[in-house]
Chain A
Amino acid sequence: MRKILVLAACTLLAVACIGCGKKEKEENNVTPEPTATAAVENNNDANNGDKADVDAESEGVMTYAEYMAAAMDSEVVIETYVQAKQSWWEDKATVYTQDKDGAYFLYNMACSAEDYEKLVPGTKIKVTGYKGEWSGEIEVMDATFEFVEGGDTYIAPVKDVTALLGTDELIKHQNEFVAFKGMTVEAAGQDAEGNNVAFLYNWDGSGQDGNDLYFNVSLNGATYSFTVESYLCDNTTDVYAAVKNLKVGDTVDMEGFLYWYEGVNPHITSVTVK
């Protein structure tokens, strides 16, 4: 009897301990990492895009042209393909997506942590939200989404828009995955000693490692401000390191997403010094 009781007590305690251990794990799981995952899986292998099926859209889904023609604040329904994830926060994801006709910026779209992991580049999703404009950036706000079951995949080929810089044509490619080639790095500001520097943390140098990087590049006498957006590409990424190594006068090729903030403000995801 004594042995049986001791065994029973031990078993019960073991069960209780297992229960606690499981709870701890669950609690850990509900503590999401607040900072952006920021890992951009580069779209360099653009030719892998499966173009055969990217025309296929479900009933009631807008084409890109219909989306662009839709009134501001109207409900929009699109099918599109994930190109890069910018951030996840409070069950909301900000994502760059694109189809063969154009690109969409999905801002703060309802998304669980589990689904966010599944939003890998190329994934086809159906998005329902509202068309909005924030400081010049056309986006889908307050959206929900669903994965398109059996949907094809599509990685947009990079589009070279170097020649469009400074033209009204450029905005037509807003949010697309684009390339700028043969541009020259200009001084972004001066350090404490008054020496020219090739990049700044934040727009005015008020930040530190981990913040957005700002750098200036020129072409044909015109200078443009480009950004490494730290939510999209954090300080562990190659592009962040590459920009920190830039020197004034370098000639660079760049790729990234054609974001807009009171004018063109590309979010660069790769830089190659020539």
Chain B
Amino acid sequence: MRRRKKRYLCGFLATLLCLTVLGGCHGSMGRNEFAVPESFDETMQHEITFWAKNDTNKTQTEIYEKAIKGFEALYPNVKVNLRLYTDYGRIYNDVITNISTGTTPNVCITYPDHIATYLTGDNCVVPLDSLMEDDRFGLAGSEVRFDSPAKEEMIPQFLTECAFDNNYYAVPFMRSTEACYINKTYVEKLGYEVPEELTWDFIWEVSEAATAKDAEGNYLVNGQKVLIPFIYKSTDNMMIQLLAQSDGGYSDENGKVLIFNETTKDILFDVAEHAKTGAFSTFKIVGYPANFLNAGQCIFAIDSTAGATWMGSDAPLCDISEDKLVRFETEVRMLPQLDPDNPQMISQGPSVCIFNKENPQEVLASWLFVQYLLTNEVQIAYARTEGYVPVTSKAQTAETYVDYLSRSGEDNALYYDIKIQASKLLLENVEHTFVTPVFNGSTSLRNAAGQMIEEVTKAIRRKKEVNEAFIEDLFADMTSLYRLDQRSDAGTGKEELGALPSTAVALLVTLAVAWAGMGLYVGLSYLKKKKRKSKDSH
């Protein structure tokens, strides 16, 4: 099977859009604050739109469709229209474009970073606290027509990731982390053993050892002309996790950018060193890590646990042709650590937010649908499609799910062992996960974090020197490109709007001149009258 995934075009445009569109349109998109209605009016028909993300995975699409059918059967007055995306960046961009025109979806798969930007619009995103707590329609509420989880049954860590600015603005839908998928066969061929806990030192050492070639230019370990021992899919995560593990600065809770520091420089110099020998590269530069891994052209592939079904000789999903597939033994490990006794790994995965609408009944219908996505039926079905984990303890402890986990390796489809190992990796390490602070601009900072690794890797490949001056220039370029010096320290609050546009200044000056003129006229008239009066009285 081949997926033909395309390189998605996500990035910072949305940030620029939000600075211009959102910043200039507060009035046009402002809505009243949402209040939970007394009842759900079932005589009223609602059509709600759900923008969903799938991993270019048909089963996931089918689960969404099935969930919609199930929900509509319970609430016949609600019709849910599904719009599918395969990329968070696209959703983000489309939402921002639609905020300015008041045409946002009702329900949307999202990342908390993105919501912080959406919040620039007045009452644009519905705070979910009152909805969650509502006795009738809240989580496990008395008038909810399905078995929804109670708030206490949400995995606290995952739920907390959706809280900022003193409110819950989303609920988690699925969670994943990153894993290192390893060609164990090649590691052992190089004279090493895969340790239980990977370290960065180990990965760099083995990767460097793997670059040895024979006289004909073939790599000794695989006998091929192509080998990139270590490929990282999401370089933003690479930088973020390395900074977290080394306690280097990234940003603070108030949105202060701390990333341009000495630790970051050291990380970039490390990247440069290993890019120079050909031991390291990235998805954006060469292609999907899974394709290289499965062709025997990569030894350490770091990608999301939600990409586990593409990894390994027996992977149920594969993009490369049969003749390119190489047989090898695959191991899954937590991503490499600087301090294995204190592991740190990123928590990621889709969350769901609700956009505010004029009609509170429509918002309530949206909330009921969101709750339906948290039912065991949807949670367990979706989690089994990839190395995801359900976000409720209710689903995680359900017999069906426990049984699923216990059957790892029974086949190379539903019970594909690499996928189930990836899920277990997160289930067993939830306490070691972290997320980065959310604020308006945190998406840009994330993009900059990854791009620095990309730029250094490309520069080395292009025979440029990566030295102190190069890094300083890179810091300046990233600051400028992502406008990291143009944000306030206001946390998730409104973006500082900066200086007024020249036309606005002109308008205000004009108005002031007009009022001054009118005032002058009134004053002069008054004085004239007074003078005349005084003249008359004399």
Binary CB contact string for chain A from 66 to 104 against chain B (1 if under 8 A, 0 otherwise): 000000111100000000000101100000000000000
Given contact pairs A73-B461, A133-B286, A262-B2, A20 touches B7 in the complex (Cβ within 8 A): no
Contacts of B517 in A (CB 8 A): 5, 8-9, 12
At the interface, yes or no: A186 with Cβ under 8 Å from chain B? no
Residues in B481-538 with C-beta less than 8 Å from chain A: 501, 503-504, 506-507, 510-511, 513-514, 517-518, 520-521, 524
Which residues of chain A come closer than 8 Å to B510, judged between CB atoms? 12-13, 15-16, 19
- Among residues of B, the one whose C-beta sits closest to the C-beta of A15 is B510
B506 with A204: CB separation less than 8 A: no
A148 → B minimal CB distance (Å): 25
Residue of B whose beta carbon sits closest to that of A10: B514
Confirm or deny: B97 has a beta carbon within 8 angstroms of a beta carbon on chain A: yes
Choose among B11, B58, B321 the residue that contacts A262 (Cβ–Cβ < 8 A): B321
Interface assignment of B413: CB less than 8 Å from any CB of chain A: no
CA distance A214 to B56 in the complex (A): 13
Interface flag for B183 (CB, 8 Å): no
21 CB contacts below 8 A, A to B, read: A1-B524, A9-B514, A15-B506, A16-B510, A19-B506, A31-B20, A34-B97, A72-B461, A89-B13, A90-B11, A130-B462, A135-B287, A142-B458, A204-B3, A204-B57, A206-B60, A206-B86, A208-B83, A225-B2, A231-B6, A262-B319
**How many whole Å from B507's CB to the nearest CB in chain A?**
4
User: Quick one: which of A87, A142, A203, A206 contacts B54, CB cutoff 8 A?
Assistant: A206
Interface pair B57/A206, CB less than 8 Å apart:
yes
* Interface size in chain A (residues, C-beta < 8 A): 50
Find out whether the CB atom of A203 lies under 8 angstroms from the CB atom of B285. Answer: no
Query: What residues on B are CB-neighbors of A227 within 8 Å?
Result: 4
In the bound complex, residues from chain B placing their C-beta under 8 Å from that of A74 are: 462
Docked pose: A203 CA to B58 CA in angstroms: 9
Q: Footprint of A on B, CB under 8 Å?
A: 1-7, 9, 11-13, 17, 20-21, 24, 54, 56-58, 60-61, 82-84, 86, 93-94, 97, 100, 285-288, 291, 319-321, 324, 458, 461-463, 501, 503-504, 506-507, 510-511, 513-514, 517-518, 520-521, 524
Complex Cα gap A136–B292 (Å): 11
Q: A135 and B24 in contact (CB under 8 A), knowing A5-B521, A204-B1?
A: no
B501 touches A135 (CB 8 A): no
- Given A30-B20, A74-B462, A135-B287, also A203-B2 (CB < 8 A): yes
Determine if A212 is an interface residue (Cβ-Cβ < 8 Å). yes
Q: Mark A10-46, 1 if CB is under 8 A from B, else 0.
A: 0011011001101100010011101000000000000
A142 to B520, CA, bound (A): 61
Which residues of A in the span 168-185 have a Cβ within 8 Å of any Cβ on B?
A: none
The interface residues of chain A lying within 8 Å CB-to-CB of B54 are: 206
**Chain A residues whose CB sits within 8 angstroms of the CB of B93 once the complex forms:** 34
Considering only CB atoms, which chain A residue lies closest to B54 in the complex? A206
- Distance of A9 Cα from B21 Cα, bound (Å): 31
Q: Which B residues lie within 8 Å of A12 (CB)?
A: 510-511, 513-514, 517
Report how far A231 CA is from B87 CA in the complex, Å.
Answer: 14
**Chain A residues whose C-beta falls within 8 Å of the C-beta of B520 in the assembled complex:** 5
Q: Determine whether the beta carbon of A134 is less than 8 Å from that of B286.
A: yes
- Counting CB contacts under 8 A, is A63 at the interface? no
Count A/B pairs, Cβ under 8 Å. Answer: 134
- Minimum distance in angstroms from A88 CB to a CB of chain B: 9
A162 within 8 Å of B by Cβ? no
Once bound together, how far apart are the Cα atoms of A116 and B179, in whole Å? Answer: 40
Are A1's CB and B521's CB within 8 A?
Answer: yes
Residue of A nearest to B96 (CB): A34
Alpha-carbon distance between A265 and B9 when the two chains are bound, in angstroms = 19
The reply to whether A89 and B514 contact each other, CB–CB distance below 8 Å, is: no
Evaluate contact between A203 and B21: CB separation under 8 angstroms.
no
Interface core residue of A13, A32, A89, A204 (most chain B CB under 10 Å) = A204
In contact, B84 and A207 (Cβ under 8 angstroms): yes
Binary per-residue interface labels of chain A (125-136) against chain B in the complex, 1 for a CB within 8 Å, 0 otherwise: 000001011111
Chain B residue with Cβ nearest A34? B93
Query: In the complex the two chains form, what is the Cα distance from A22 to B461 in whole Å?
Result: 47
The closest CB in chain B to the CB of A87 belongs to B9
Closest to A2 in B: B521
Shortest Cβ distance from A92 into B: residue? B9
Complex formed: what's the CA distance from A225 to B223 in Å?
Answer: 30
Flag whether A202 is at the interface (Cβ < 8 A).
Answer: yes
Give Cα A9–Cα B60 distance, bound, in whole angstroms: 63
Closest A residue to B14 by beta carbon equals: A34
Smallest CB–CB gap between B83 and chain A, Å?
8
Whether the pair A134, B7 counts as a contact (CB closer than 8 A) is yes
16 additional A-B residue pairs with CB within 8 Å, beyond A16-B506, A231-B6, A262-B321: A1-B524, A5-B521, A9-B518, A13-B514, A15-B506, A34-B97, A135-B286, A203-B1, A204-B3, A211-B86, A212-B6, A262-B2, A262-B287, A262-B291, A262-B324, A263-B321
- Taking the complex as formed, is A157 at the interface, i.e. its CB lies under 8 A from any CB of chain B? no
B58 partner residues in chain A, CB cutoff 8 A: 202, 204-206
A180 to chain B, nearest CB (A): 17
**Would you give the shortest CB distance from A225 to chain B, in whole angstroms?**
7
With a CB–CB cut-off of 8 A, which chain A residues contact B82?
208
Closest 10 CB pairs of A and B: A135-B287, A16-B510, A23-B503, A206-B58, A89-B9, A73-B461, A90-B13, A9-B514, A19-B503, A16-B507
Interchain nearest-CB distance for A218 vs B (Å)? 16
Q: Indicate if the CB atoms of A23 and B462 lie closer than 8 Å.
A: no
Q: How close is B255's CB to chain A, nearest CB, in angstroms?
A: 23
Q: CB-CB < 8 A to B461: which residues of A?
A: 72-73
- Chain A residues near B319: list those with CB within 8 A: 261-262
- B507 near A19 (CB under 8 angstroms)? yes
| Interchain CA distance A2-B229 in the complex, whole Å | 84
A241 to B86: give the CA distance in the assembly, Å.
22
Knowing A16-B507, A134-B286, A135-B287 touch, does A265 contact B20 (C-beta < 8 A)? no
The answer, yes or no, to whether A234 is at the interface (CB within 8 Å) is no
Interface string of A217-260 (1 = CB under 8 A from B): 00000000101010100000000000000000000000000000
In the complex, which of the residues A72, A142, A263 has the most CB atoms of chain B within 10 Å of its own CB atom?
A263
Neighbouring B residues of A13 by C-beta, 8 Å:
510-511, 514
Closest chain B residue, CB of each to CB of A189: B58
The interface residues of chain A lying within 8 Å CB-to-CB of B20 are: 27, 30-31
For B11, list chain A residues within 8 Å (CB): 89-90
Which chain B residue has the least Cβ–Cβ distance from A135? B287
Residues of B within 8 A of A90 (CB): 9, 11-13
- Which A195-211 residues sit within 8 Å CB-CB of chain B? 202-208, 211
Q: A261 to B4, Cβ gap below 8 A?
A: yes
Whether the pair B94, A34 counts as a contact (CB closer than 8 A) is yes
Cross-chain contact of A214 among B4, B7, B60, B324 (Cβ < 8 A): B4
- Of B461, B503, B517, chain A has the most CB atoms within 10 Å of the CB of B503
